[in-house]
Chains A and B, each alone.
Chain A
Amino acid sequence: MLAYIIRRVLQSGLVLLIVGLVAFSMFRFVGDPVDNMLGQERTLADVERLRDKLGLDQPFVMQYVKFLSGAAQGNFGVSYRQGRPVSDILMERAPATLELALVSGFLAISIGIALGVFTAIRRNGIAANLIMSLSLIGVSLPTFLIGISLIYLFSVELGWLPSFGRGDTVQIGGWSTGFLTETGLKALILPSITLGLYQMTLIMRLVRSEMLEVLRQDYIRFARARGLRERAVNFRHALKNTLVPVITVTGLQLGSIIAFAIITETVFQWPGVGLLFINAIQFVDIPVMAAYLMLISVMFVGINLIVDLLYFSIDPRLRADRAGAH
């Protein structure tokens, strides 16, 4: 078990190094930031001075090593556009994205699993079939369309919920939270539904098909033959056996909730890292883009690691196999 964890952590490190290389390559190959930063009226001396200051005159390998050691310490350099340390900007923006992702993820998992189980157990019911048909909308409609439709309905027509922004936030230490104010909570509703809907329908359809598969197994028949209550058969015996594949997909989906918050954040002008990234692309603000890339890859790798460890807690067979393996 320990050997397995160590191996996984090393693999994760390798993945991050490679992503780091890609992120760093942007500095070399995506346009020249100096042009953007200095504008039309500049002298050659200005250009040289700025290149020197940003370290752009150093050899490729030196710059990569410098970038990596900086990144490891959370230092991604200075934003070309805002002239402030990238880590400071990210820290300001991260709470907005993380809170949004947290709420969306929670909605997606709880409602997704509940509806998945329901539609599997009541396979032939009218309600279950209706939910299945509706879920096609969630899977097939693009996020921006859902977001705009929700804004139109609940903000423009009904006027119940705000159409953009985070509402009021409360500062706790370095973290600005929208959970503690009424406007903050209201502002969370539409974006989190928009962001979580796809994941919710995906989880629901996955849980349903896994559950139907498990309900055909012999041990479910045997559980019934032993006269266990339907509730025990469905939840204690069937649901737990559906969780391993569901956790795999859900874990990856949580990563993409954070990564692809970009679109939702743009639609709702949500002041998170996704919006920051979009703005950074427009200005070729490479340090911000590189830092964002690194941040997202750390999250993906971290979530994958957690998912792999969750398998062990759910499936005892894996524990035994691993114990035998080393």
Chain B
Amino acid sequence: MTSPTLSIRNLTVDIPTRHGILRPVDNVSYDIAPGEILGVVGESGAGKSMAGNAVIGLLSPPAHIAKGEIHVNGQRIDHLKGEDMRRLRGKHIGMVFQDPLTSLNPLLRIGDQLTETILAHLDVSRSQAEERAVQALDEVGIPGAAERINSYPHEFSGGMRQRVVIALALCAEPSLIIADEPTTALDVSVQAQIIALLKDLCRQKGTAVMLITHDMGVVAEAADRVAVMYAGKLVELGPVRDVLTTPRHPYTDGLMGSTPLASRGKDRLHQIPGAMPRLDALPKGCAFHPRCPLTQNRCKTDPKPTLADGAGAACWFPLTPGAEVA
């Protein structure tokens, strides 16, 4: 196996507050290989975005990385600060945000936003940068890129703007893209196009993608592997087919069960009872036990189970035997 583009080891993010320390990301480890798409799923507040922000160094204070290591292309980056981290952003790690309507500066032409990004990272002349900018727009499927380069963001539709955002994230050819809910704010009809575009571009360029989403459909369509997060912890990790068809963690099973499918007919949609606990009121033992249909005594008292390296489910009593964590 080739060395991973992104490697996260025991990543822990803390937010100190007056009432104690909150831990939105707790001891999370995973790798993403070149050209691989890892879907990171979970409910709102599960820590998926927080982990992404930690990787690109954009945690807003007082949130900070308390423990663990992050390596990109073999280089350790979790301790980098200021100017060193800035050089990595855009050049090695690109990011796509949720809402394309607010991610672009409304007062600058998209061509200017592209060229400034290219000039910030690559050693090229202004005219070369402008050429690359047109090329980048062309790659993301914007028709008439040479003319559209002079347009302002408000002159594009939502889907087109997300294409521009993707072009911006990719224009300095980073080896890792963090896509934070890239389709959530888009029309359903456009979502599939954007996912397909992201997938194609990253396959072509061998870019690793951390695809943060709560949409199982998006994961099924795009991801190679899935990481399921719950209350800051990684609860299940594995190839997309295994996780979606034979989930081992009861939480993943619940998530899959609550995905609406046409084939299921008109029966009432299943839902996981209760809500994810707040970070300042995590239950003892496994954080999922109050909502879990399979809870036993051990789940309520014993220290939280952790995920074995590489794959599996962080559960005392996983659904499919054989992958139990010690």
Asked if chains A and B come from one complex, the reply is: yes
Residue of B nearest to A218 (CB): B102
Residue of A nearest to B114 (CB): A226
Chain B nearest CB from A228 CB (Å) reads 5
* Nearest-Cβ distance from residue B248 to partner chain A, whole angstroms: 34
Q: Which residues of A contact B88 (CB under 8 A)?
A: 227
Q: Which of A53-61, A77-85, A233-241, A250-258 contacts B (4 or more CB under 8 A)?
A: A233-241
B89 touches A241 (CB 8 A): no
Q: Does B209 contact A (CB under 8 A)?
A: no
One of B14-22, B165-173, B250-258 at the interface: B165-173
When the two chains form their complex, are residues A219 and B89 in contact, meaning their CB atoms are under 8 A apart?
A: no
Q: How far is the CA of A223 from the CA of B120 in the complex (A)?
A: 11
Interface Cβ pair total, 8 Å cutoff: 82
Distance in angstroms between the alpha carbons of A241 and B152 in the assembled complex:
14
B108 an interface residue at 8 Å Cβ cutoff?
Answer: yes
Report the bound CA distance from A232 to B168 in whole Å.
16
Contacts of B99 in A (CB 8 A): 218
Q: Are A232 and B89 in contact (CB under 8 A)?
A: no
* Cα separation A316 to B89 with both chains bound (whole Å): 29
Pair A218/B121 contact, Cβ less than 8 Å: no
A241 x B95 contact (CB < 8 A): no
Interface size class of A (residues with CB under 8 A): 20 to 34
Partner of B169, one of A221, A226, A236, A240: A226
> Is B103 in the interface zone, CB < 8 Å from A?
yes
A229-B120, A316-B152 in contact; A222/B97 too (CB < 8 A)?
Answer: yes
- The residues in A between 284 and 326 inclusive whose CB is less than 8 angstroms from any CB of B are 314-317, 320
Chain B positions near chain A (C-beta within 8 angstroms):
56, 58, 86-91, 94-95, 97, 99, 102-108, 116-117, 120-121, 152, 154-155, 165, 168-169, 172
Extra A-B contacts (4), CB below 8 Å, given A224-B89, A316-B154: A219-B105, A226-B94, A315-B106, A316-B106
A-B contact pairs, 26 of them (CB 8 A): A218-B103, A219-B102, A219-B105, A221-B58, A222-B165, A224-B58, A224-B86, A225-B58, A225-B90, A225-B94, A225-B97, A226-B94, A226-B95, A226-B117, A226-B172, A227-B89, A227-B90, A227-B117, A228-B117, A229-B86, A229-B120, A230-B86, A236-B116, A240-B107, A315-B107, A317-B152
The 7 closest A-B pairs by CB, nearest first: A227-B90, A227-B89, A218-B102, A225-B95, A226-B90, A316-B152, A222-B103
